[in-house]
Amino acid sequence: MYYAVTIATLVTMALALVRALLGPTIYDRLLAANMFGTKTVLFLSVVAFLYGRPDFLDLALVYALINFIGVIAVLEFIREREDSGEKLS
Amino acid sequence: MTIFIDTLSWILLTAGGLFVFIGGLGAIRMPNLYTRMHAASLTDTMGVVLVLGGIMLQAGLTLATIKLAAILLFLLLTSPTASNALASAAILSGLQPKEGPVKPREKAE
């Protein structure tokens, strides 16, 4: 049963990557990147129990924090760029 | 008792996998940024809660459960914050959401 969740998560990660490549605006890409990060946390948690190695949960915890800080940092970067009048797509 | 907890956790895990997949599909199929954000937030709340809840039931009362609870807490705190920041940045950059009914032709925007 862990396999079903793992496969669903992997498929969703692939779909998020497709959206990140297609995304018309830069915010679509950022949304897809955020989603990919959340799915990575889920994937790591499930894999930890699939292979019986609970150490992976620490990685998932760190990834959850890094992902949030990364998204906020990129948003701030985009805003700085747009304030200076540069056109981003 | 064990089989009851096992069944409950399998149900939660399957439902969580389904929600995660539906959210991924929505992020591909929805017509514009704000509707896509709605679909992505489905995976961030319902999917995460169901999947991590199912794993917690499997883990029982161990250190793993505490770590899983910490992950759940962090995700439930950070993902709405990130979504809010993303939406307000998009609005400020001039990307207006469409209002009113959408004609079928305009859907594939």
Domain limits of chain B?
A: 2-84
Question: Which residues, 6+ apart, have CB-to-CB distance to A45 below 8 Å?
Answer: A56, A57, A60, B51, B52, B55, B68, B71
Tabulate helix, strand, coil % of chain A (nearest 5). Answer: 85, 0, 15
List the structure tokens of B88: 């307000």
Amino acid making up residue A28: D
pTM: 0.85
Q: Do A27 and B89 touch (CB under 8 A)?
A: yes
Q: Do A11 and B24 touch (CB under 8 A)?
A: yes
List the structure tokens of B29: 């199929």
Handedness of CA A26, A30, A36, A39 (dihedral sign): negative
- Read off the pLDDT of each residue in A55-61 and give the average, rounded to a whole number: 90
B38-97 pLDDT, tens digit per residue, is 888 888 888 999 999 999 998 888 888 999 999 999 999 999 999 998 888 888 887 777
Report residue A8's pLDDT band, with 50, 70 and 90 as the boundaries: very high
Q: Chain B residue closest to A15 (CA)?
A: B24
Q: Chain A residue closest to B24 (CA)?
A: A12
Report residue A89's pLDDT band, with 50, 70 and 90 as the boundaries: low
What is the residue-averaged pLDDT of chain A?
Answer: 88
Query: What whole-number distance in Å separates Cα of residue B26 and Cα of residue A15?
Result: 9
Q: What is the pLDDT of residue B91?
A: 87
Q: What is the pLDDT of residue B59?
A: 86
Which residues of chain B have a CB within 8 Å of the CB of A65? Answer: 74, 78
DSSP symbols for B8-63: HHHHHHHHHHHHHHHHHHHHHH-SSHHHHHHHHHHIIIIIHHHHHHHHHHHH-SSH
Q: Chain B residue closest to A2 (CA)?
A: B13
What was the ipTM of the complex prediction?
Answer: 0.84
Q: Do B90 and A25 touch (CB under 8 A)?
A: yes
Query: What whole-number distance in Å separates Cα of residue A31 and Cα of residue A17?
Result: 10
Q: What is the pLDDT of residue A41?
A: 92
Please tell me what DSSP assigns to residue A88.
-
